Structure 1
Amino acid sequence: MSGQSEKDSTISPKRKNPNGKYVLSRQKIIIVNLHKDALSKNPDINYTDLYDNMSKATGIGYRTIKDTINEYRKTSTVKSPNKKRVKTSLFDKTDDLDRNGLHTSKDPTLPNFKRTTLYNIIKKLDFVFTKRKRCSVLTERNDLINWRRNYLYDIRKYRGEGKSIYYLDETWLNVGDCVDRVWVDTTIQSKQDAFNKGLTTGPKNLTGKGQRLIVLHIGSDMGFLEGGLLCFVSKKNSADYHDEMNGDTFKDWFVSILPRLHPNSIVVMDNAPYNSVQTEKYPTSNSKKADILEWLNSKGITFDRPLLKAQLLTKVQELKPRTKSYVIDNLAKYAGHTVLRLPPYHCEFNPIELAWAMVKGYVKQENTMYKIDDVRQLLNSAIERVTAENWKIFIKHVIDEEDKVWKVDDIMDEIIDEMEPCILTITGDTDYSSE
């Protein structure tokens, strides 16, 4: 009996809750019940000791136990954690500059991708793998090559004609943006020591969370356009700042800046969804059959026999124009201007990217208060510091990049033409208006 009693009195080893693992509502209820039971037995117990004992007994972290008890005190209940997390792929984490580096050169600053990862990223960039008799070559799809070549031809032509060319783009500023490194006086021993010497210990390292500003602007070789700034506080917790903008907001801003442009100007922009809203929405394979029939009937198309959905979609394709019609392009056309769209994956063709780098560098350098209103003021000051001379330098850099890509395309065209084709693998169509 004594042996059995000794065995029963032995506490089983607890299993520690792993860091980062969710504590479910049923576990929280256990925490609350343990807390109530401990207080009923010893009302005068120190809360720090209580939470520490509960942590040791359950294997759940001290902070989690404290937060659970505080949650119960305020709401009289406990909730399960929000398990929904936005999982981003490595492709989404790869910025435009790195993607462009994969397009144009063996950039030594590119991340060190694994072979499979690099293959998947290149595939998403719409390269195709072309096998030849005795060698293989990685090329882009013909539609992307055509888009880029036509853009470079048009932008050169417009410059030769002396037309005013404006470049627009959107970016963001985080309230916690600051320089990564600062000089530190190692002779300061404590906060009190710093206070006695009239110094400051500086702000704590920020997590990167918090409010941010969504910024949209337009500029040319004359500098940022006067009155062209759109700036508002982000309301979404999204990894992609493009999610903050929508077609209506962009349209209202675009209409307001059109009268400020020089007559018969060229407006260069990318293919983000908010500036690529089409004038008419056409049925797709995701559309209901009834909706497809209704759309065809609105075009005066009727049928004397039942048709399959695939047959109806074929008729839709016949009626769709060869080129897409965008709301923004038509607004510019009515105002006497022309929209020129950047080819996919070529942000280096937009000089405003360099202007944004200059603006953000200034904000990071001067940001010491980490408040949204102060960041907004720093943004305005930073934009004023980007002069027309700066813009001319940025545009000159872009022209150099355009010339390099033009020459690379010529060289690749000659190389591929000299190689006898064997097998060609082609990817499916891509809608670049979603970029």
Structure 2
Amino acid sequence: MSAHLDDVSEMEIMDDTISPKRRNVQGKWIMSRQKNMIVNLYKELKLKNPNMPYKELMNSISQTLGVGYNSVCNIISEYKTTGTVKSPNKKRCKKSMFDKIDDLDRNALRQKIHGFWMKKELPTIDKILVAVNSDPALPNFKRTTMYEMIKKLDFVFTKRKRCSVLTEREDLLVWRQNYLYDIRKYREEGRTVYFLDETWVNAGDCVDKLRVDKSIRSKHDAFNRGLTTGATNPTGKGQRLIVLHIGSHKGFLEGGLLCFVSKKNSADYHDEMNGDNFHNWFESIIPRLDPNSVIVLDNAPYHSVRTERIPTSSSKKEFILSWLRSKGVVIDRPMFKPQLLAKVKEIKGKYVSYVVDNMAKDAGHTVLRLPPYHCELNPIELAWAMVKKNVKQNNTTFKIDDVRVLLNTAIERVTSENWKNFIEHVKTEENKLTEVDKNMDEIIDSLEPCILTITGETSDSSDV
């Protein structure tokens, strides 16, 4: 009897020392075995208490098993819908090499290809691969990766003789040639050309290389000499400032800076901006510009918000029909969706317009868009490089407020003389691209088209 009482007392002591329930770690995967336990408990409670309210039932399961309330609701909903539960798909989308490199590297790849045309030499994958991998400023690529990169940069292969000639997509060539013609025409007219762009500055940005006194043997030795071992670099990038500005040969436009702290942990700083934010900033900038000026910008989505929605292949048939009728198109017989989209394609060119372009036009200005992947044609990129270098060299606290002060100071140090030099450099790049297009045009025109034999007849490949 005494031994039994001792066992009971030990159990009571153990009960008093039981640790609290462990809850499932937030964000941790809930596998199918755990889900089945939740479903079984749901069935048990439902069987014992059929009149228990749904929320109370879900809350009871959540408290008993230590799983979040919303997770329990989702799992029970999944079971009711499918009749079973399964483990989540833990496979994550792997980023391609194209997504890992930045716009500057993409532009450098394009310039490598252009370099062959400058030398009047036909570029091939093998030649490009050697040129890129021998450049220490660029990452090394495998041949298959390089091929994919070139395709994503909108280069295409045109069949000529026994080999394929690597050229750029025809519409991009036209875009670039029109841009170069327009920018030169506007300069000859004496119009002020403004260039705008966004960038970012991290609170943890600092120079990678510092001068080191090799005579110092240790931190204690440095302390005794009254020296310092230098500021400790942060382990992460910290907070980020998103920066938007505009400038011309006169320098950065006074009052044109937009700077705010990033709220997203995204690798792409473009995620922070949207059409509304950009349009509000742009509206405040327009009165500060010289009369009849030109505004050069890239093709970020928030720069190209359309004034009206135009049907695409993903649009509903009813919307396509109503849009066509609103434009005066008569649909006098039943049509399938592809037929309607063909009609949209015929007339949509008349109705494609952008909010930014209309805002500028109403104020007497002109918007000019850079061709894709041609950041070397925007002198503000050189200004940003100068600003960031200044911030990195003087960043010692790695605090976002201090970095903002450094950023404002660095922007003020970019003079109109600096901007004139940047623009002159861009003009040199424009001349190079004109030479590339000229050489490409002459060489491809001199090559005989590929001759294919089909059903015993000889035909030009362009007609096949």
TM-score w.r.t. the length of structure 2 is 0.71
CA distance in 2, matches of 1:297, 1:186: 79
Shift of residue 114 of structure 1?
A: 1.2
Partner of 1:382: 410
Displacement after TM superposition at 1:130 (Å) = 1.2
Instruction: Go from structure 1 to structure 2 and tell me whether the alpha carbon gap of 1:292 and 1:25 turns closer, same or farther (over 3 Å shift).
Output: closer
Matched, 1:118 2:146: yes
SS at match of 1:320: helix
Match of 1:68 in 2: none
Q: 1:386 to 1:86 in 2, by over 3 A?
A: farther
User: Where does 1:89-238 land on structure 2 (aligned, <5 Å)?
Assistant: 89-103=96-110, 104-105=114-115, 106=131, 108=135, 109-186=137-214, 194-195=222-223, 197-238=225-266
2:450 corresponds to 1:422? yes
Query: How far apart in 2 are the matches of 1:277 and 1:124?
Result: 23
Alpha-carbon deviation of 1:112? 2.5
Please show how residues 248-263 of structure 1 align to structure 2 within 5 Å: 248-263=276-291
User: What are the equivalent positions in structure 2 for 1:256-275 lying under 5 Å apart?
Assistant: 256-275=284-303
Deviates more, 1:158-167 or 1:213-222: 158-167
1-side partners of 2:318 and 2:238: how far apart?
Answer: 46
Q: Report if aligned partners of 2:242, 2:262 keep a CA contact under 8 Å in 1.
A: yes
Deviation, structure 1 residue 358:
0.2
**What residue is the counterpart of 1:321 in the other structure?**
349
The corresponding residue for 1:88 is 95
Letter in 2 for 1:250: F
Shift of 1:92: 1.5
Q: Report Cα offsets for 1:72-106 as digits up to 9, x if no partner.
A: xxxx7799999686742211222223322332225
Cα distance between partner residues in 2 of 1:82 and 1:241: 28
Of stretches 226-235 and 284-293 in structure 1, the one that deviates more from structure 2 is: 284-293
Distance 1:306 1:163 in 2: 52
The Cα shift of 1:162 comes to: 1.4
Taking the aligned partners of 1:425 and 1:126, their CA distance within structure 2 comes to 21
1:398 corresponding residue in structure 2: 426
Contact 2:450 2:461 in 1 (8 A): no
Shift of 1:412: 1.1
Quote the offset at 1:319 in angstroms: 2.9
Deviation at 1:261, TM superposition (A): 0.8
Confirm or deny that 1:336 pairs with 2:343. no
Instruction: Return the letter of the residue paired with 1:156.
Output: R
Note the C-alpha offset of 1:323.
7.3
RMSD: 2.9
Counterpart code for 1:97 = L
1:284 maps to 312
User: Which amino acid in 2 is paired with 1:166?
Assistant: Y
Structure showing greater radius of gyration is: 2
Post-superposition CA distance 1:217-273 (Å, at most 9, x none): 000110000000000111111111111111111111111111111111111111110
Q: Describe the SS at the equivalent of 1:154.
A: helix
> 1: CA distance between counterparts of 2:362 and 2:288?
14
Residues 407, 322 of structure 1: alpha-carbon distance in 2 compared, 3 angstrom cutoff: farther
* Aligned positions of 1:344-363 closer than 5 A: 344-363=372-391
Structure-2 separation of matches of 1:254 and 1:117: 39
My pick for the range that moved more, 180-189 or 411-420, is: 180-189
Task: Give the superposition deviation at 1:187.
Answer: 5.6
Identity of aligned residues (%): 70
2:169 alignment partner AA: R
Question: Greater relative contact order: 1 or 2 (C-alpha under 8 angstroms, separation 6 or more)?
Answer: 1
Gaps of 5+ in 2: 1-26, 35-65, 72-86, 116-130, 452-459
Question: What amino acid maps onto 1:95 in structure 2?
Answer: D
By how many angstroms is 1:199 displaced?
A: 3.9
CA 1:365–1:95: 2 relative to 1, 3 Å: same
Count of aligned pairs between the two proteins? 358
Structure 2 counterpart SS, 1:413: helix
1:283: how far off? 1.1
Gaps of at least 5 residues in structure 1 are: 1-21, 30-75, 427-435
